[in-house]
Structure 1
């Protein structure tokens, strides 16, 4: 996990941009999301929720950074940069969101809004970290 410390700056910047994207995304879908999530009024802006959210965004960026560092160099860099988050999202995030929402009896609209948010976050984070640059630990390749 040394790669996290080596890439703390790109990871934190990517987390911040993912966090900002989420604020804009949910502002745009505020009414639709509140209806689908059965939330009355405006959700609380409790600082603890925001701290947990940022920490989760940073962890997501850290794991994504590891995947980007380990990606095969046979494919073009930007193809892998955009496909890596799409594969991780489609393989882990979307299925878990689908199952949770189906068991909770939530509308499909909520799954689309929440799933779209996480896909956007991951793509933005991957592109941000590639643009800034990531450092592989000694002995590990990086395109």
Structure 2
């Protein structure tokens, strides 16, 4: 049952990310500094690779969160949600902020990408807690 929980949680996190970035695509694209065409789309399209990497990383995050939850007795949706939010807020977002600071990226990216890390991990934790 554990692998099913990890897959469902990863899919939920990925789906949340799709909604998040579709909603914030304009601000995110502007904050990245990518060159855009007349329709506001990136000039250099990345293809499928970012989506494949995203899917794999969602599985890794969900798998490690499930392992951590099992080791620490996090066994309800509420505990999963709160712990997931904490993972995003106190592990992933600070790392994003550090990397973006050194690469001198637009601080708005920290808010957008960090917001996804926090809420996406919350979604993963909630789903894992339901299992």
- Answer yes or no: same fold by TM over 0.5: yes
Larger relative contact order (Cα-Cα within 8 Å, sequence gap ≥ 6): 1
> Deviations along 1:93-125, whole A, 9 cap, x unmatched?
121111111111122211000000111111111
**Paired residues for 1:1-143 under 5 Å:** 6-41=1-36, 42-43=41-42, 44=45, 46-72=47-73, 77-131=76-130, 133=131
Q: Deviations over 1:55-83 (max 9, x none)?
A: 0001000011112112247xx94553223
Q: Which runs of 5+ in 2 are unaligned?
A: none
Whole-angstrom distance in 1 between the partners of 2:77 and 2:2: 19
Q: CA RMSD in A?
A: 1.9
Deviates more, 1:39-48 or 1:21-30: 39-48
TM-score by length of 2: 0.84
**How far is 1:46 from its partner?**
1.6
Q: Could you tell me whether the CA contact under 8 Å between 2:77 and 2:128 is conserved in 1? A: no
Query: 2:14 and 2:78 mapped to 1: Cα distance?
Result: 24
Gaps of 5+ in 1: 1-5, 134-143
Q: TM-score, normalised by structure 1?
A: 0.78
Aligned counterparts of 2:61 and 2:46: Cα–Cα separation in 1: 21
